[in-house]
Amino acid sequence: MKNMNKSTQKLLSTIGVIVVLYIVLSVMEGTGNLSSLLSGLLVPVCAYSLVAVGLNLCVGYLGELSLGHAGFMCVGAFASAFFSKVFMNTIPDVPRFILSLLIGTCFAALFGFLIAIPVLRLSGDYLAIVTLAFGEIIKNVINVIYIGMDSKGLHFSMKDMLSLGMEPGGTLVVNGAQGITGTPRQSTFTLAVILLILALVITHNFVNSRTGRAVKAIRDNQIAAETVGLPITKYKLIAFTISAAIAGVGGVLYAHNINSLIATTNNFGYNMSIMILVYVVLGGIGNFSGSVVAAVVLTLLPELLRGLSTYRMLIYSIVLIALMLFNWAPSILEYRNKHGLTAAAIAAKFKKKNTKEVS
Amino acid sequence: MGFLTYLINGLSLGSVYAIIALGYTMVYGIAKMLNFAHGDVIMIGAYVTFIGMSSSGIPAVPAIVISIIVCTALGMLIEKVAYSPLRKATNLAVLITAIGVSYFLQNIALLLFGSNPVSFTSVVKWQGLSLAGGQLKITGNAIVTIISCLIIMVCLMWFVKHTKPGQAMRAVSEDRDAATLMGINVNATISLTFAIGSGLAAVAGALLCSSYPSLTPYTGSMPGIKAFTAAVFGGIGSIPGALLGGLLLGIIEILAKAYISSQLADAIVFAVLIIVLLVKPTGILGKQIKEKV
Amino acid sequence: MKKKLLSLALVSAMTASLFVGCGDAAKSADGNDQATEEAAGELTWKIGGIGPTTGGAAQYGTGVMNAIQIAVDEVNADGGINGYQIAFNFQDDEADAQKSVNAYNTLKDWGMQILEGTVTSGACTAVSAETYNDRIFQITPSASSTDVTTGHDNSFQICFSDPNQGTVSADYIADNGLAAKIGIIYDSSDTYSSGVYQNFATETQAKGLEIVATEAFTSDSKTDFTTQLQKCKDAGAELLFLPFYYTEAAIVLTQANQMDYAPIFFGVDGLDGILSVENFDVSLAEGVYLLTPFAADAEDEATQSFVSKYEEQFGGIPNQFAADAYDGVYIIKEAIESANLTPEASNEEICEALISAIQSVNYNGLTGENMTWNAAGEVSKDPKAVVIQNGAYVSVQ
């Protein structure tokens, strides 16, 4: 019971921080004090955070390394953008967005479920490579899908635009590698924050539920869990599907924030999957709030380094390596402990400084 | 005749994958880490060979030797600075650091060599064979690539089986703690593994760019991922597995392009990989590890 | 637990300070800018540029960045536009749509009035929706997709559009009877390549040309083209249409040569630059057709001065995109002059004035004579086919 309270406490404090940040940022945006760069980044940062939270559920609690979460994000993004585009003129804005959010999430969950059935038979790095493979397949297939719409309904092809056989005047909804253009922009910061908090609450409740405890037991010792009669496959499937669904929500947000949705290696391929994994590991495996913080910091970092022009990505990579060593290298951790450089100690100093500044 | 041509092209592509996959598989077997920066070491190797041959006018073989030396040093340096401090940390931490190193190498190459592609002069001057009255043409690059791959493989197998350092490698890969107790210098062994893997990367870089002659700072990343896939395909940690995985991946890729769909070739390659792993969950030649309670 | 809580508080505090700090910094920077400008009485034109300078497409963005810099320096040395100097700021987008929007927002914070960019089609489509909403005038040197201009009255192109290139290529091949059987290799994961391919395929149907092989590659497998070439060869293609960039084309030409396959190669504007790939055996490109309005070895004074400046400052030979970007600055200059604007005008005023002004501009530059623009944002210049002979472009008509 005590344990429960503490983790709930932590969740509440995280949500508190997010809400405070949200209010501060909204006020700043409202009064025109927020730079365009940051206000443009608010929604994408929340989207990446969501995917990171989803992946953290998979890596931290299921204990399986997935390199394909960008694929679920991709599915969520394309399914919802497709829906929004097709019903752009037939369903009013708000119900359409709610529906497309549901559709995006469900599709991502469905793909997560279907992929999990074979994938979860494997373990370790073999599982990682198969998820990577699925992510690449999703990206590759989406790049050759052509869907057009005319008065007769939808036309589908996996070859090219010509073989759709559309009437003249029909519109292309999904145009292969050119993706979906002109998705209505409906992701707002408010919405993104609500979804992010929702995801944090859901994951928190999930890991502390009966199912969640079973999942943790399986992670810690599968054989022991099996022996006490836990249905391993069922629990693994549930965790993986939820994880994929949350990534899908991130995709929906991403898709409804950008005019041109295309699937490339950098935004939905393995590069993005790896980037999200970086957020998870840097933020702390199994630490959902940490994932959010890491996603925020690492998305902002290259943007804030823009002043360095060509050196920016170089500095970024050095910072990444340094952060990893600082946070994980046993010898450095020992040194930090000895010299009072732990997060807690710094936080204490920081707090004192802050109060001084305020007063 | 068409099929044979495709098959040879596939073997040639697969041989390059196999040599790269060796680097992944050896490092994985011994240090239990996925060295995502391996593909970028290949790129650096290719640039060194290119500069040696085109700018300094050195013949191909010495240029490759220089590149091997540079890459070996680079590999050991990376291991020392970025990976060895994390040896006792979780595998994931090392994985992320490797990704950081990969970004670092790409961006340093971008600053040093610029973003414009360079056209790599083939290290093989020989035009190749023309069989069956010109119907079947095998390029010199393909022949040299396939033969080098086989030679490297045989040498490595011999090295690992019959030399002291090779035996030390196997011991470390079996059980690091036990190996330490037996008086094996684990750090030196891991360092040696990185040295060999990176040296091979230099050879792979020269061969890769001879067959596919466009070199940019990002040349290494995709073959790197493909070779990683090949290593897993064959059973990661296994040297013959890397050869088999690399060759199969190359052949499947080419045949899928030729007979099914060139648009969906990547998807098909990955689908085959998934199917194989479902049937053999630790790759074709991977060891089945029984989990202990 | 306490430690964790504290660390959480710490990171959130840090993040918060990051946000707040940035917001404040941006605000004060803006304030400062205005203050200094007003104090010194020196207003400048703020022209922004966006394109990839890192990542796999860096070579295309870097050329554009360098060329704009040359043009801006020239204009400034010559007294600026309407007496005001130009300040130029170029941001990297790694050819990614989201990062391109970030780059655009960075430029907006800087106070950009006019955008020359972005370089790649997919990213440009995302950014043109932003400039349209913010009413900032945009002219792109090289994004050829129609999605860039469709529905955005403030976006203009200097390069040929995708349909334009596809159609002109097919027409040229049909009208000159270059070949009856055509093979196509294109990048099915790239916006630009698949855009040109679609338009080309549509036009070949209309012209009655026979496409015997359509092969694709993706960004994940763009090193080995032997299979695609072999299939085109087996299908008897006499002409290969290659709507992609010169980086890949250099490999295609080398591999075709190795397998003794010598069809006519026909590329579009992405192929320009192939002759200046370092160490490339230009004899392989002999007889290759491509669409470009610009030849770096042209005799005229403007081209020679641009090329020599480029080589001197940045090294290498500029390609068509760089030339388009160079022209872009002068086109903006001409439009501003004809609209008689000063930098005091708001972004929206500049945008509206330039939208009408550019449609009356008639510009002679490196990449064409008598260029004009229509309301749809397309340039009037017709893609012209050139053929490579003895390592140089020779125009064919």
**Which residues are CB-contacts of B195 (< 8 A; sequence separation ≥ 6)?**
B72, B75, B76
Residue A4: pLDDT band with limits 50, 70, 90: low
Q: Between these two residues, A88 and A47, which has the higher pLDDT value?
A: A47
Residues 6+ apart with CB under 8 A from A234: none
- Find the domain containing B113 and state its range: 2-279
* Residue C259 touches chain A, beta carbons under 8 Å: no
Report if residue B174 sits inside a domain.
Answer: yes
How deeply is C274 buried, as exposed, middle or buried, from its count of CB atoms within 10 A (0-12, 13-18, 19+)? Answer: buried
Helical H runs in C148-190?
162-175
Q: How many CB atoms lie within 10 A of CB A351?
A: 14
Mean pLDDT, residues A183-193: 92
Chain B residue numbers touching A314 (CB-CB < 8 A): 104, 107-108, 111
Cα angle, residue C163 at apex, residues C158 and C168 outer, rounded to 5°: 90
Which of the four pLDDT bands, split at 50, 70 and 90, describes residue A245? very high
Work out the angle at residue A350's Cα, subtended by the Cα atoms of residues A345 and A354, and round it to the nearest 5 degrees. 155
- Strand ranges for chain A from DSSP E: 146-150, 153-157, 171-175, 180-181, 260-261
pLDDT band at A103 (very low <50, low <70, confident <90, very high): very high
Print pLDDT tens along chain C (397 aa).
444 444 544 444 444 444 443 433 333 333 333 333 433 457 899 999 999 998 888 888 999 999 999 999 999 999 999 999 999 999 999 889 999 999 999 999 999 999 998 899 989 999 999 999 999 999 999 998 888 888 899 999 999 888 888 988 998 899 888 888 999 999 988 888 988 998 898 888 888 889 999 999 988 888 889 999 999 999 999 999 999 999 899 999 999 988 889 999 999 988 988 888 888 888 999 999 998 888 888 888 999 999 999 999 998 888 888 999 999 999 999 999 999 999 999 999 999 999 999 999 999 888 888 889 999 898 888 777 889 988 888 887 6
Confidence bin at A151 (pLDDT 50/70/90)? confident
Domain residues of chain C, as ranges? 1-35, 43-160+302-371, 163-292
In-domain check, residue B293: no
| H helices present in A208-287, as ranges | 210-220, 222-227, 232-255, 265-268, 270-283
Q: Which two tokens stand for residue A88?
A: 């752009």
Longest CA span, chain B? 64
Within a 10 A sphere around the Cβ of A2, how many other Cβ atoms? Answer: 6
Suggest the residue from A181, A261, A292, A326 to mutate for an interface test with chain C (most C CBs closer than 10 A): A181
In angstroms, the CA C148 to CA C157 distance is 8
User: In terms of residues, how long is chain C?
Assistant: 397
From CA C305, how far away is CA A225, in angstroms rounded? Answer: 76
B→A contacts (Cβ < 8 Å), by residue, are: 28, 34, 36, 82, 85-86, 88-90, 92-93, 95-97, 99-101, 103-104, 106-108, 110-111, 225, 228-229, 232, 236, 263-264, 266-267, 270-271, 273-274, 277-278, 281-283, 286, 291, 293
Helix (H, G, I), strand (E, B) or coil at C240: strand
For the packed helices A312-328 and B91-113, what is the interaxial angle rounded to 10 degrees? Answer: 160
Q: Does any CB of chain C come closer than 8 Å to the CB of residue B76?
A: no
Subunits adjacent to chain A (3 or more Cβ pairs under 8 Å) = B, C
List, in order, residues 6 or more apart from B64 with CB less than 8 Å away: B49, B123, B202, B203, B206
Name the CATH topology of A44-291.
Answer: ABC transporter involved in vitamin B12 uptake, BtuC (1.10.3470)
Q: Name C86's bridge partners.
A: C45
C-alpha Rg value of chain A to the nearest Å: 22
Q: Between chains, do B96 and A317 touch, taking CB under 8 Å as contact?
A: no
Q: Cβ–Cβ contacts within 10 Å for residue A7, how many?
A: 14
How confident is the model at residue C41, as a pLDDT?
52
Q: How distant is the Cα of A126 from the closest Cα of chain B, in angstroms?
A: 7
Measured between beta carbons, which residues in chain C are less than 8 angstroms from residue A25?
19
B289 inside domain: no
What 3 state SS string does B106-169 have?
HHHHHHHHCCCCEECCCCCCCCEEEECCCCEEEEHHHHHHHHHHHHHHHHHHHHHHHCHHHHHH
Chain C CB within 8 Å of residue A349 CB: no
Q: With beta carbons less than 8 A apart as the criterion, state whether A128 and A66 touch.
A: yes
pLDDT of residue C298: 81
Distance CA C315, CA B56 (A): 19
C-alpha triplet C122, C128, C134: angle, nearest 5°: 150
- Candidate from B274, B282, B283 with C-beta closest to A118: B274
Determine the pLDDT at residue B46.
Answer: 95
B126-141 per-position pLDDT tens digit: 878 877 777 778 888 8
Closest residue by Cα to residue C199 from C160, C228, C158: C160
Report whether pLDDT(A135) > 80.
yes
CB-CB under 8 Å, C19 with A21: yes
When pLDDT is averaged across residues A235-241 and rounded to a whole number, the result is 93
How many CB atoms sit inside 10 A of residue C249's CB? Answer: 27
Give the nearest partner residue to B263 out of C216, C250, C279, using CB atoms: C216
Residue with more model confidence, A103 or C394: A103
Ordered per-residue pLDDT tens for chain B, 293 residues: 688 889 999 999 999 999 999 988 999 888 888 888 999 999 999 999 999 998 888 899 999 999 999 999 999 999 999 999 998 888 888 989 999 999 999 999 999 998 888 988 888 888 788 777 777 788 888 999 999 999 999 999 999 999 999 999 999 988 888 999 999 999 999 999 999 999 999 999 999 999 888 899 999 988 998 998 899 889 888 889 999 999 999 999 999 999 998 888 889 999 999 998 888 888 888 776 655 54
Instruction: Summarize pLDDT for B40-68 with one digit per residue, the tens.
Output: 999 999 999 999 998 888 899 999 999 99
pLDDT in tens, B183-198: 999 999 999 999 999 9
pTM of the complete model? 0.89
Number of domain units in chain B:
1
Calculate mean pLDDT across residues A89-101. 91
Q: What mean pLDDT, rounded, does chain A reach?
A: 88
- Residue A345 to residue C2: CA distance in whole angstroms: 11
Across the interface, do B139 and C217 touch by the CB < 8 Å criterion?
A: no
Domain at C43-160+302-371: CATH code: 3.40.50.2300
Phi/psi at A319 (5° precision): -60, -40
Domain annotation covers residue B68? yes
Chain B residues with CB under 8 Å of C277 CB are 116-119, 214
Count of beta carbons in the 10 Å neighbourhood of residue B60: 17
Q: What are phi and psi of C46, to 5 degrees?
A: -105, 105
Which candidate in A131, A140, A226, A315 is best for mutational testing of the B interface (most B CBs within 10 A)? Answer: A140
In a domain, residue B290? The reply is no
Question: Beta B136-139 vs A260-261: how paired, if at all?
Answer: unpaired
Boundaries of every domain in chain A: 44-291
Per CB-CB distance under 8 Å, the chain C contacts of B222 are 219-223
CA A344, CA B41: separation in Å to the nearest integer?
39
Would residue B198 be called left, alpha or beta, if left means φ above 0 and alpha means ψ between -120 and 50 degrees? alpha
Q: Report angle CA B199, B200, B205 to the nearest 5 degrees.
A: 100
Q: With an 8 Å Cβ cutoff, are A304 and C6 in contact? A: no
From chain B, the residues in CB contact with C55 under 8 A are: 218
- Report how far residue B186's alpha carbon sits from residue B180's, in angstroms, rounded to the nearest whole number: 6
What does the pLDDT read at residue B235? 87
Confirm whether B286 is domain-assigned.
no
Q: Which of A68, A64, A54, A72 is nearest to A109 (CA)?
A: A72
pLDDT at B237: 84
Q: Is the domain covering C163-292 a CATH 3.30.420.40 domain?
A: no
C192-230 pLDDT tens trace = 898 899 889 888 888 888 999 999 998 888 888 999 999
DSSP assignment string, B184-231: --HHHHHHHHHHHHHHHHHHHHHHHHHHS-EE-TTTTHHHHHHHHHHH
A contacts of C20 (beta carbons < 8 Å): 24, 28
* Residue B184: partners with Cβ closer than 8 Å, 6 or more residues away: B168, B171, B172
**10 Å Cβ neighbour count for C392?**
14
Whether A23 has a pLDDT exceeding 90, the answer reads yes
| CATH label of the domain that carries residue B244 | 1.10.3470
| Confidence (pLDDT) at B291 | 53
Residue A195: alpha-carbon gap to chain centroid: 11
